[in-house]
Structure 1
Amino acid sequence: MTRFQLNLRRGHKFVLSALLFGLSMARIMANVLRIAWAVHNDNARLVIAASIFANAGMLLLFVVNLILLQRVVRAYQPQIGWSKAFGWTFRLLYSGIAASLIMVVVSVVYSYYTLDSHTQSQLRCIRLVTAVYLAVLAFVPIPAVITILLLPRSFPIEHFGRGTMRIKVVLLLFTSVLLSLGACFRAGGAFIQRPTENPGWFNSRAAYYCFNYVIELVVVFTYALSRFDRRFHIPNGSKGPGDYSNGGLGGMSGQQSTDEETLSGDDDGVPSTGQQVPLKNIANKKA
Structure 2
Amino acid sequence: MSAEMAKRGGPYLSTVWALGGTPKKNVDVPITAVFLALFVISAAWHMTIFQKNRGRGHKFIFNAALFGFSMSRIVTCILRIASICLPSDIQLAIAATIFVAAGVLIVFVVNIIWAQRVLRATHPKLGWHRVTKIIFIATYVLIAIALIITITSVIQNFYTLRPRTKFIDRALLLYGQTFLAIISSLPILIVGLALALPRRTPLEKFGAGKHSIKIAILLTGSTLLTLGAWYRCGTSWQAPVPKSQPLPAYFAKPCFYIFNFGVEIVTLYLYAITRVDLRFHVPNGAKGPGSYVVRNEKNLDEETGEEKEQGEVASIEPLRET
TM-score range, shorter chain: 0.7 to 0.9
**Could you tell me which of 242, 246, 250 is aligned with 1:198?**
246
Structure 2 residue 294 is matched with structure 1 residue 246:
yes
Q: Once the two structures are superposed, what CA deviation does each residue of 1:118-143 show, in whole Å capped at 9, x if it has no partner?
A: 10110111110011111111112223
Q: 1:279 aligns to what? A: none
Q: Which amino acid aligns with 1:115?
A: L
Query: Per-residue deviation at 1:48?
Result: 1.4
Structure 2 residue 314 is matched with structure 1 residue 268:
no
Q: Which amino acid aligns with 2:210?
A: T
State the SS of the aligned residue for 1:257: strand
* Residue pair 2:278, 2:300 contacting (<8 A) in 1 also: no
Matches within 5 A, 1:127-166: 127-166=173-212
Q: 2:18 aligns to what? A: none
Q: Which amino acid aligns with 1:108?
A: V
Q: 2:268 aligns to what? A: 220
Q: 2:282 aligns to what? A: 234
Q: 1:89 aligns to what? A: 135
Change (3 A) 1:259 1:224: farther
Q: 1:110 aligns to what? A: 156
Query: Per-residue deviation at 1:4?
Result: 0.8
Q: 2:214 aligns to what? A: 168
Q: Once the two structures are superposed, what CA deviation does each residue of 1:136-193 show, in whole Å capped at 9, x if it has no partner?
A: 1111222321221121222111111100100011111111211111111000111112
* Residue pair 1:165, 1:266 contacting (<8 A) in 2 also: no
Mean Cα deviation higher: 52-61 or 121-130: 52-61
* Residue pair 1:14, 1:233 contacting (<8 A) in 2 also: yes
Q: 2:102 aligns to what? A: 56
Gaps of 5+ in 2: 1-46, 302-306
* Residue pair 1:160, 1:234 contacting (<8 A) in 2 also: yes
Q: Which has the higher contact order (CA 8 A, sep 6+)?
A: 2
**Could you tell me which of 226, 235, 258 is aligned with 1:210?**
258
Query: Per-residue deviation at 1:246?
Result: 2.8
* Residue pair 1:161, 1:250 contacting (<8 A) in 2 also: no
* Residue pair 1:161, 1:249 contacting (<8 A) in 2 also: no
Query: Per-residue deviation at 1:56?
Result: 2.1
Q: Once the two structures are superposed, what CA deviation does each residue of 1:20-70 show, in whole Å capped at 9, x if it has no partner?
A: 111111111111111111111111110111122212211011011101001
**Aligned CA-pair RMSD:** 2.4
* Residue pair 1:163, 1:264 contacting (<8 A) in 2 also: no
Alpha-carbon distance in 2 for matches of 1:127, 1:141: 23
Q: 2:224 aligns to what? A: 178
Q: Once the two structures are superposed, what CA deviation does each residue of 1:166-224 show, in whole Å capped at 9, x if it has no partner?
A: 00111111112111111110001111122323121221221000011100111111111
Structure 2 residue 64 is matched with structure 1 residue 26:
no
- Using the aligned pairs only, state the percent identity: 39
Alpha-carbon distance in 1 for matches of 2:77, 2:208: 35
Change (3 A) 1:249 1:41: farther
Alpha-carbon distance in 1 for matches of 2:118, 2:207: 11
Query: Per-residue deviation at 1:256?
Result: 7.7
**Given the two structures, how large is their TM-score scaled by the length of structure 2?**
0.78
Matches within 5 A, 1:44-83: 44-83=90-129
Alpha-carbon distance in 2 for matches of 1:76, 1:248: 22
Alpha-carbon distance in 2 for matches of 1:259, 1:247: 6
Q: Which amino acid aligns with 2:269?
A: F
**Could you tell me which of 1, 4, 9 is aligned with 2:55?**
9
Size of the aligned set, in residue pairs, is 269
Q: 1:273 aligns to what? A: none
Higher helix content, 1 or 2: 1
Query: Per-residue deviation at 1:259?
Result: 9.8
Gaps of 5+ in 1: 271-287
